[in-house]
Amino acid sequence: MSQRTPLRSIAVVLAAVTLLGGAWLYRHRGAGGDGDAQRGSDPALLLDRIWVDSRPEKYTDYTNVMLAISDAPLGVFQKASAYQATTELFEYKRREARFLVHFPQTGKKREVKYRITECKDLPPFDLCLDFSQNPWGGPRRYYGMADPDKERTELGALRHMLEQRLQPSWQGSGSVPR
């Protein structure tokens, strides 16, 4: 079996996941842009947005990713390459520019300050998220996209995969697990 076959299968799966992620974004964030997102200074921009620390160049490069959803106070941190992934779910409270995070598996709790600004450090990303310290132990700077349509196009598959990791934790129960 050639090495290209698994990569082709991954591409097909990612394309399908992109469509599903795009549908979720359209339903939950609407078709229009977000005026506050264009300014890049609203602390609420932390939620419902994919945040990555880098753009991998090789299959073995690791990328740290964070997603915190507003539908339930849950999020996910992930460090992954094409071949290996480590994921940890968290519960959160957001108070202005403070992020209180609880990791149920380990019981670890962290409170960190964060700042979101416009930046052009890693195109096509146009927002920077800087933590005073990373509650998960990863990098302190992440990159995101202000425009939900652009995010849907560029990162829809990644969003869907992360949401699937969160889904069993809170959907169907009517409440967030404590």
In a domain, 177, yes or no: no
- Tally of structural domains, the chain: 1
* 25 Cβ contact partners less than 8 Å away, ≥ 6 residues apart: 148, 151, 152, 156, 159
Instruction: Identify the pLDDT of residue 103.
Output: 96
The answer to whether position 175 is within a domain reads no
Q: Which pLDDT belongs to residue 158? A: 76
pLDDT of 157 reads: 74
Tell me the C-alpha distance between 71 and 41, whole Å. 22
Q: Cα separation of 140 and 11, whole Å?
A: 30
pTM of the model: 0.68
Looking at residue 144, its pLDDT comes to: 95
The residue range of the domain holding 18 is 4-170
CA dist 127 and 118 (Å) reads 5
Q: Which residues, given as ranges, of the chain have pLDDT below 70?
A: 1-41, 165, 167-178
CA distance 85 to 60: 11
27 within a domain of the structure (yes/no)? yes
pLDDT of residue 168: 58
